[in-house]
Amino acid sequence: MGAFYSSVTVFGTDWETIAQVCDRPAFIVTDTDTTVVFSEADDEGGGDLPEGALSAALGAVTLSVMVHDSDLLALFVHRDGELIVQGCVPDPDEYFGTESGEGSGALSGAVLVSALGRGDAAALDTALANDVTFAEERHAAMLRALGLPTWSVGFGYRYIDANPDAFAGPTPVRLD
């Protein structure tokens, strides 16, 4: 069984403001200009993903990431609560051999760089297109291409809660 996790990176506000409005329980981790929220509700399929409630409450841009069974990487970018980019790599219809007709949403480096105002579009295209064994590899490559730290890769609320010492990033702040 692979990894299942989610996180929301918030741009343009401080962790104390985020803590006032995010779902609880959660962990918040801040490093320089990057704040990531690991919410129990997001790990369970609720919370900010993919509705953008945290983005709306903060009037901020958020990058929400979900990894499903180490196979699929889903991304949602919200600005002021409005979904502006979404996609999943690989396309779930192709991966599972289904025909939902919904598709995964077009993801390209240029679209993500434009939505987030940061990153290297060519490196993002490579990260999104490369054949990888685990979605976590794609997640790490995507974060590097965006100029973001990779300490959130492989972690969601339940993984930090179960083994906080395994988390290699800055010390998480627990919100109950």
What is the pLDDT, as a whole number, of residue 44?
A: 80
Q: What is the rounded average pLDDT of the residues 102-112?
A: 76
Rounded mean pLDDT of the chain?
91
Least confident of 94-98, 123-127, 138-142: 94-98
Q: What is the rounded average pLDDT of the residues 106-118?
A: 92
What is the pLDDT, as a whole number, of residue 100?
A: 60
Q: How confident is the model at residue 154 (pLDDT cuts 50, 70, 90)?
A: very high
What is the pLDDT, as a whole number, of residue 40?
A: 95
Q: How confident is the model at residue 43 (pLDDT cuts 50, 70, 90)?
A: confident
The per-residue pLDDT for range 70-79, each reduced to its tens digit, is 999 999 999 9
DSSP conformation letters of the chain:
----EEEEEEESS-HHHHHHHS-SSEEEEEETTEEEEEEHHHHTT-TTTTT-HHHHHHT-EEEEEEEETTTEEEEEEEETTEEEEEEEES-HHHHHT---S-------HHHHHHHHT-S-HHHHHHHHHS--SSHHHHHHHHHHHTT--STTTT--HHHHHH-GGG--SSPPEEE-
What is the pLDDT, as a whole number, of residue 1?
A: 82
Q: For residue 99, is pLDDT > 90?
A: no
What is the pLDDT, as a whole number, of residue 102?
A: 55
pTM: 0.92
Residue matched to tokens 């979404």: 86
Q: For residue 91, is pLDDT > 90?
A: no
The per-residue pLDDT for range 157-170, each reduced to its tens digit, is 999 999 999 999 99
